[in-house]
Amino acid sequence: MTMTTTNDLIATAPARRRFGGGDLAGLAVILLVAVLGYFLFPNNLALLTRIIAAALLVLSLDLVTGYCGVATLGHAALFGAGAYAAGIASAHYGINDPLAMLAFGIVAGAVAGLICGFVILRAHGLPQLVLSIALIHLFHEFANKASSWTGGSDGLSGIAPTALLGLYEFDLWGRTAYVFGVALLAVVFVLLRLIVRSPFGMLCRGIKEDPVRVRSMGASPKIALTKMYVISGAVAGVGGALNAISTQVVGLDSLSFTMSAESLVMLVLGGTGSLFGALTGTVVFMFFEDVVSAANPFHWLTMVGALLIAVVLFAPKGIYGTAAAFVARRKEAQ
Amino acid sequence: MQPIFEVRNLKRAFGGLAVTNDVSLSMAPGDRVALIGPNGAGKTTFVNLVTGNLKPDSGEVRIGGEAVTGVDAIGRVRRGLVRSFQVTRLFADMTPAEHVALAVLQRSGRAGRLFGNFLGMPDVMAEVEELLGKLGLKELMHRKVSEIAYGQQRLLEIAVALALKPRVLLLDEPAAGVPQSDTGRIEQALADLPADLAVLMIEHDMDLVFRFAKRVVVLAAGAIIFDGSPSDVTKDPRVREAYLGSYANASHAA
């Protein structure tokens, strides 16, 4: 599956450092938007936290699809694994510390990433896509059948996270969950910026462009991609665990094909191969969905469809990708 | 001198047609060998067998005395057998500096590092600048490859290969597709290759072959029909027959 990416905007910058001014500005924008969200939508923090969890899933998808060129429609398997692991740790084992639940989510996401990577990376192109769809259905069915652990179609309840760091209770308004989510997103963003610019990130970009060339340099594309899948799983696991902790319930929808497909739509909407693209796509899609579905409960899906068609036709690099390309062209012209 | 690269009785057939038929070849460090042959002689199959992209039916490939016939392509690169491609295979969205840095990092076992950036690694940058400087690409090191000229891309192919510090270098038509005006730079790069490196060049351009090679190997119908000095190759009746045969067929088809 070939996609227009915004990698080139990063690739051309001659003086890339470990964490530069642009990164700090990006982090500042994330925090500013988070603060604005907190004050503008004080009664809707649950939605904002849901957006953050989805953003973590889309960032995770961007790592394998945007940066490595792997085609997948089953990425929610990694997110769901994280959500169920965090939920099961609390509901069945009484591990209610949110950071411990988070750790369970990260490990489960990474393991799910390893399993999915092992299967999906055996094929390329359309067969790869089919394998990913098969995997998400298998994960979904497994969670459905193992109802004594997962609650099956009723969902997993009885998740009761204790106060964060022993100080901040998860309140009814969702303030703690929101701040926790923003902090997780900021940490993940910084780590991913470092990773995509590292030698490993460069190797993955090379694999996306030409795996044969990478092999002729003595590097194994399969090992590198599997490693990226594990990292991606850990990131999705963070999102899943955040979802379990903030909503205190885990449903089968967190392991669904629909969620996988929606995350891909959000990524394409924002722009693949760029962390900002993933974040932009998630925020725009989920906000749009929320606003439009409230305004017109009967035709909101039509409007979401129209938005997607408009973006794909008029901004094929995605919203962020197109904007970034425009700015880059302006700079070059000067 | 102990051979650095050896091929013994290599055979490979496709559906009964012997595309590589009992080929044996040996090279010592510093050798400059040109592999030539008419179209369909089996050069590409030979390269694929040697690099590990294709398994032979029988025979053996050795690098530095070690049998690598059962080793995959990646393992052979790690043992010092590096190739360049006939049609450039570079990463269009990446810069020359990134290409060479990736090769250096891979060679030194650091390509899997999750943190840090090669721009902040003095030893990597020194090597990148030195290699690109030697090949006249330093000015372009931070431009995207898709923005640089084809001749410069061919030079970058050589730079990437050299950054892997090979012991045996397989150059697949290094000047293919390069305008006549730019071939001088590539020939200079070939002349400047490390003296202890064994180089096997597959080439159609006979002028380039005569200027570069100390030894010429001619492949026809999957077998070696000549292995000797450049001055003798044109006099050899079997070589003349192989080439004239292909010319006759070409003119007949036209």
Note the ipTM here: 0.86
Work out the minimum CA distance from B239 to partner chain A, whole angstroms: 32
Q: Say if B153 falls within a structural domain.
A: no
Q: Are A241 and A102 in contact (CB under 8 A)?
A: yes
| Residue B130 domain-assigned (yes or no) | no
* Cα–Cα distance measured from residue A197 to residue A172, given in angstroms and rounded to the nearest whole number: 40
Note the pLDDT tens digit of each residue in B95-138: 999 999 999 999 998 988 898 888 888 999 999 999 999 888 88
The sheet with strand B17-27 has its strands ordered as B17-27, B5-14, B58-63, B66-67
A window 149-208, beta carbon within 8 A of B: 194-195, 197-200, 202-203, 205-206
Give the pLDDT of residue B240. Answer: 81
A290 located within any domain = no
What CATH number should be reported for the domain holding residue B205?
3.40.50.300
| In a domain? residue A289 | no
The pLDDT score that the predictor gives to residue B246 is 52
What is the identity of the amino acid at B56? P
DSSP A202-255: HHHHHHHH-HHHHHTTT--HHHHHHHHHHHHHHHHHHHHHHHHHHHS-B-GGGG
- Split at pLDDT 50, 70, 90, the class of A242 is very high
Residue A200 domain-assigned? yes
3-class secondary-structure state, position A72: coil
Is A124 a domain residue?
yes
Surface of B (84-113) touching A: CB under 8 A: 85, 89-95, 98, 101-103, 105-107, 110-113
Q: What is the mean pLDDT of each run of 10 residues along chain B (254 residues)?
A: 88 86 91 88 88 90 90 92 89 92 92 88 91 89 89 90 93 84 85 91 86 90 87 83 62 44
In a domain, B141, yes or no: no
Radius of gyration over every alpha carbon of chain B, rounded to an integer in angstroms: 19
Domain that holds residue B219: 5-90+163-253
Q: Report if residue B213 sits inside a domain.
A: yes
Strand B168-172's sheet: what is its strand order? B81-83, B168-172, B198-202, B32-36, B215-220, B223-228
Is A121 within a domain? Answer: yes
B113 Cβ contact partners less than 8 Å away, ≥ 6 residues apart: A198, A199, A200, B105
Assigned domain for B70 exists: yes
Q: Which domain range does residue A114 map to?
A: 23-257
Q: What pLDDT, in 10s, does the model give residues A243-273?
A: 999 998 899 999 999 899 989 989 998 988 8
Looking at the structure of chain A, the number of domains it has is: 1
Tell me which of A84 and A332 has the higher pLDDT.
Answer: A84
Query: Has residue B80 been placed in a domain?
Result: yes
Chain A residues closer than 8 Å to B90 by CB: 210, 213
Query: Is residue B104 situated within a structural domain?
Result: no
Report the distance separating Cα A23 and Cα A192, nearest Å.
11
Position A307 scores a pLDDT of 85
Q: Is residue A317 part of a domain?
A: no
Q: Do A209 and B85 touch (CB under 8 A)?
A: no
For residue A267, being part of any structural domain is answered with: no
Q: Does B117 touch chain A (CB under 8 A)?
A: yes
A212 and B142 within 8 Å at the Cβ level: the answer is no
Q: Is pLDDT above 80 for A193?
A: yes
B147 lies in some domain: no
Give how many domains chain B has, as a whole number: 1
- Average pLDDT rounded to a whole number, residues A96-123: 94
Q: What angle do CA A248, A252, A258 make, to 5 degrees?
A: 120
